[in-house]
Homo-oligomer: A and B are copies of this chain.
Amino acid sequence: MKVVLDAMGGDYGPSVNVAGAVEAVNEWNVDVILTGDEELIQKEIDKLQYKGDRIKIVHCTEIIENSDKPSTALRKKKDSSLVVAMQMVKDGEADAIISAGNTGALLAGGLFVIGRIKGISRPALAVPFPTPKGMSLLIDAGANADCKPQHLYEFALMGSLYMEAIQNQQYPKVCLANVGMEEGKGNELVKESYQLLESSDLPFHGNIEARDIPAGEADVIVCDGFTGNIILKLFEGVAHTFSDTLKQAIMSNWKSKLGGLMMKPALKSFKKQFDYTEYGGVPFLGVNGLLIKAHGSSNSKAIKNAIKQAKTSYEADLLQKITERIAEISQQKDSKNKDVSGDEQ
């Protein structure tokens, strides 16, 4: 497969993107196209002494910065590393795109350059995260701040297909993020969404309280993008404060310092479980192409794992599975509507 990688995206620019790409092509059967400043990219490739033919460069003269307004940047910076990469997926020259750059531009580009899957009104960010019970998926993690019940239904559908295709879960447990377990809890959006999900064919298991999310009590956690982004970032923040406080506790006296030293391998494996660089990027589901958002502060390992994720999604036919299932559902709906109108005549 061919992955196109926005080599200029992310806080560290070409260096980590190129290093991630080199690590990936050395390890797996994958080709990587790097979009961006050819000279800078080639320099990084030379540094790593990569001499193979699995990496190609497509030179671009512009960069979309984090400070750029997404819609304006997309329109004005046609020769940016991001837009050129997007267009390659649109034109079938690449099978997936990865960028650690401006999130807003990436999402807008997904919608307006690549386009939506027919039948999906709102593509969504789907964040896989580790729990003691395995991987769970949070959808939408921030693409759509204001949502309607139909959108949450689409998120649930795409999320469950993702878990089936990528995590091999037969009937992933789909739950609504809510403030209580019982039906009837929550705000207007989740109350209405509950009804819609309950009446659908999805493996819907009701509400989940936020305190049960980290333990892995649901496989797919469905919410609007505002709530999802709060969940995602709070997760990150609590983990960060927790490790800082733990570190301080360890450094507080010689006895605990020595103790900490003895625990080092254990603490390392503990830390690894909460390390996003292990899990690569975040797929933007519902666009008509594989699109993966890598963390802005990705290192080369994170980029490499994002490429792996693109590869897994490609080999699992994720895009096709979502497209087909959506088509099936809208066909069923159409024929139902026809039946109904038939009855009425």
Residue from A142, A186, A224, A263 with most neighbouring chain B CB atoms (10 Å): A263
Closest B residue, CB atoms, query A103: B180
Known contacts A226-B179, A249-B269; is-contact A236 B262 (Cβ 8 Å) = no
Q: Do B263 and A259 have beta carbons less than 8 Å apart?
A: yes
Q: Do A179 and B145 have beta carbons less than 8 Å apart?
A: yes
In the complex, A242 Cα to B244 Cα: how many Å? 13
Closest B residue, CB atoms, query A238: B238
In the complex, A323 Cα to B142 Cα: how many Å? 38
Closest B residue, CB atoms, query A235: B238
Q: Does A312 contact B (CB under 8 A)?
A: no
Q: Do A215 and B237 have beta carbons less than 8 Å apart?
A: yes
Known contacts A179-B142, A234-B235, A246-B270; is-contact A240 B215 (Cβ 8 Å) = yes
Chain A 216-243, CB within 8 Å of chain B: the 1/0 string?
A: 0000000011110111111111111110
Of A7-15, A206-214, A299-307, the one contacting chain B is: A206-214
Closest B residue, CB atoms, query A226: B187
Q: Do A226 and B227 have beta carbons less than 8 Å apart?
A: yes
Interface of A, secondary structure class, is helix
Q: Do A249 and B226 have beta carbons less than 8 Å apart?
A: no
- Residues of chain B with a CB closer than 8 A to A186's CB: 145, 226
In the complex, A42 Cα to B311 Cα: how many Å? 68
Of A20-28, A250-258, A324-332, the one contacting chain B is: A250-258
Closest B residue, CB atoms, query A255: B262
Known contacts A244-B132, A267-B249; is-contact A234 B213 (Cβ 8 Å) = yes
- Residues of chain B with a CB closer than 8 A to A274's CB: 242
Q: Does A245 contact B (CB under 8 A)?
A: yes
- Residues of chain B with a CB closer than 8 A to A132's CB: 241, 244-245
Q: Do A214 and B238 have beta carbons less than 8 Å apart?
A: yes
Known contacts A179-B145, A187-B145, A234-B235; is-contact A266 B253 (Cβ 8 Å) = yes
Q: Do B211 and A240 have beta carbons less than 8 Å apart?
A: yes
Q: Does A334 contact B (CB under 8 A)?
A: no
User: Can you list 19 A-B contacts (CB < 8 A)?
Assistant: A131-B241, A132-B244, A179-B226, A210-B233, A211-B233, A211-B234, A211-B240, A212-B237, A214-B241, A215-B240, A226-B227, A230-B230, A242-B274, A246-B246, A246-B270, A250-B263, A255-B262, A258-B259, A263-B263
Q: Top 4 nearest A-B pairs by Cβ distance?
A: A259-B262, A211-B237, A259-B263, A256-B266
